[in-house]
Amino acid sequence: LAWLVDRPNVMIKIPATKAGLPAVTEVIGAGISVNVTLIFSLERYREVMDAYLAGLEQAQAAGLDLAGIHSVASFFVSRVDSEIDKRLTVLGTDEALALKGKAALANARLAYEAYESVFGSADAATRPGDRFTALAGARANAQRPLWASTGVKDPAFRDTLYVEELVAPGTVNTMPEATLRAAADHGDVRGDTVTGGYAQARADLAAVERLGISYDEVVEQLEQEGVAKFEAAWQDLLDAVTKSLDSKGVDGE
């Protein structure tokens, strides 16, 4: 795909499943930029960063120019709230209902904290880890966090929630069109809304766990559902292309 598109800004999308992690390393090692997608858990995100660094080390050993290799780590946001909030609603207590809309932001903010521990912070308050420091000397790029699934699913929430509350240096926010238009119309971007919130983020996730909602179970379920959705979309695409080719004949006539 990278050869076929033949553009310096192409990124090949690889899911952050257990099977996808070694593929990320190998593709980065071949000098091909990657969008690592379908990340829900903090543990898996750390594994994604490790896979990226391992790929850069392979690319460096092969004599490739690291400056031309890029990557983003697509951390999914709103689906976390959709699943956890559904469980909080079932519980129905005041404590449970007060936590609605908090888990996804907490998860994403702690992901950014993990990013800073590996790649360093923009204000130099947190230095990069040793592995990336060595690679940065060879002009390697940090793997940027990308907020995916940032459209608000619950109409009770502000429609720009996952934009305004996830502003931090070096991040990418892939908004659906409706969210993009809402942010342009009435978004209140007031600077960094991530790095000062790590303690509260940990407290919010801990509060959810105390109510009997398992973080590990939720993120595992979301990954499995995400893979199933990707598979279904891929099959739909193949079916549509096959149908189109069959209707035109082998020679395209």
The residues annotated with a catalytic role in the active site are: 13
Q: At what angle do helices 198-210 and 215-248 cross, to 10 degrees?
A: 90
Q: Classify residue 114 by its DSSP letter.
A: H
The candidate with the shortest Cα–Cα distance to 40, out of 182, 168, 225, is 225
Helix (H) or strand (E) holding 76: strand 71-76
Tokens coding 46:
């750390």
As a whole number of Å, the end-to-end CA separation of the chain is 27
Long-range contacts of 91-97 (CB under 8 A, 24+ apart): 91/211, 91/212, 93/211, 95/207, 95/211, 96/211
d(CA 120, CA 114): 9
